[in-house]
Chains A and B, each alone.
Chain A
């Protein structure tokens, strides 16, 4: 049966420096949760606190309702896959997989049965007698995952497990980990700085910044309704465009790039209040008739990706803008192109960076 995790006002301090600032988070049984954020945001520290590798300075960690703050790592029912894999280089793959079971005092026959079963699941049967140095990056990754699975833990933790792999292998392993979650149904927490990994794998994404949860929710919720400018910029690739804006006459109109853009409904803002207008590159149309006119921009660079075209442009006011269009646009460097947007899927942020909902 899958396991729930709850963090109540969890704090981490190193001396006088507080790096995790009272995080509250609930993870449902069987959920695949991804901690995402830039380097130094505290995502790995938070994971290690759940694992029991870092002491929790304040607050409570509850696993299935039981307080775990002072329970040793090995007794929390957790297995972890490390960024560096942490395979023992002097042991064969078999011995690496069996180490935890031997430590726990399992009988030889049981250990062998479990190791063989995991090897079959991960398709590493032929590698069992090899040493880690004789394995490729992808194979090492499988062994590291195998070492976690073989103990049959309640919770899996992954600390940037794909960051040492090349792009192709990363995509492949991403799919395999997602499949593994479907098959095993365990609660999993996965740390990454790659928002594409987060979007593709997670049931729930937790976006962290400077030890604070900026937003937690389903991937599309974060994409469609970011709570603040940081999440809006972090989720989505290419990242969201931000343009300086101002509350215009009438609460449902704002001035962006020298033009008035009508919103669907009124915002609770003062006249002339400085705002930030956010629009995703894929939500901007080049030419056409639909939506509202955003004005003309000058194309600085064109990237033809085959299935799509990415334009890097500047507005008349000198602001940078990225446009991601489907298909192969016949646009050249230096050309002026008209842009149109659908205000219903655009975003407005106040001067504190908080999203304003109409």
Chain B
């Protein structure tokens, strides 16, 4: 064999090797690129969720760790607690008080912003301002503002001759106060989302309506709202998932953080925290976590089905 052919063979092998590498590169790279997400999700999302199920079937204390297998005893226990049902009621009530007014006010803000307004950026940034405030700071500020006896809200009410309201003692007022914190932070944000969707509505729709002599209000209800329906529904669906896990605002609403003497504003996530870290009972805390998990999934699915039916009836299907 000549040196020449040896070199040739080497070159051929090298090219082949490069080819193999390249093929592997093409084949494996995509999986490599998406793998960080899946690996971390598996470790920090999926595994803990499943493990929650495991813990919920055991006696398990914060300090002592894993105890005996107890089957569904923890579930039985929490479902038998009025506290659980109260927390469920509070969670949904706060959610309703926050999502409904929020969507309505945000729609109106968006409608006003959608007009040919002066200083557009100023107004848009202005309504978004509360979004950058930490919920903890919001809760502290509003918690003091809503103090039953010395708070500024009750001062305002009594100044104009209305009776003071038990913002911390009564169930519904406390929910309204907490929902106000949520609305304070998110309404402007939602308004911008709706604004974006409104600007995507073809203007000729409006022009046609105007030629037909429809009033501004009428145009809003018969064109804007139907056109925005998918956006509205999607916003509601997704905020359900976050809203039903509310913790920060009710936790910091008073100085004890346990949701009131009668659990007036104790939410399910707070109940999880109280069971796990105040009563040191991880088993029961996990049981509530699983129940809330199921509730959220059912709710999200339900909303999704509704939204899909509506959108498939109306606009064209997603590509």
Asked whether A and B interact, the reply is no
